[in-house]
Amino acid sequence: MVGVNGGRRNRSNSERRCPSGTTRSLSSWARSPGRLLAPGGCEPDTYGGDLARGIVTAMANPQASNEDFNLSTAERCTVLELAGLIWCKIKGAGPQLRIVHDDPFAHDVQRRVPATDKAKQVLGFEATTTLEQMLDEVIPWIGQAIRAGII
């Protein structure tokens, strides 16, 4: 058995993250200001293609048996930075993003730093898809789903 963690297991406030954070951006931030929890924690984002590649790599490696690996990207950005990237991809450089900060959850972790070194050392695996690349794929998909009434 191989345990794989592609990011946080308990996403109690997952509405802040991608793709659901992107959904929120496309559907409601089009009417700026956007709303974020203050101060806007920091965590990695993981692309599903990287996660799938890491799982297949782990399944094929005998050294992975009974081991856990974090297959997340080591790249991190704050929720505010993510909101800004999404905004610019949706609206362009013209209009400025305005944010209203809501009170944070009482026990939310403000900074998540995945330990991805074990996956690199044992499996030779490293997530390589950048946040920009993820958003370039996810934003159009969510836009189409919104227009189709799926979400």
Q: How far from the centroid of its chain's Cα atoms is residue 130's Cα?
A: 10
Nearest Cα neighbor of 83 from 38, 121, 116 is: 38
Structure-token match 């996660």, residue found = 51
Domain holding 24: CATH number?
3.40.50.720
Contacts of 66 (CB under 8 A, 6+ apart): 1, 2
Domain span at 118? 3-147
- Residues of the chain below pLDDT 50: 1-2, 7-20
pLDDT digits (tens, 9 = 90+) for 57-71: 999 999 999 999 999
Rounded-to-integer distance, Cα 51 and Cα 111, Å: 21
What local confidence, expressed as pLDDT, does residue 97 receive?
Answer: 82
pLDDT of 62 reads: 96
Give the phi and the psi of residue 69 in degrees, each rounded to 5.
-135, 140
Q: pTM of the entire structure?
A: 0.68
- Which residue matches tokens 């209203």? 100
- The number of helix segments (H) and strand segments (E) in the chain equals 5, 6
For the chain, how many structural domains are there in total? 1
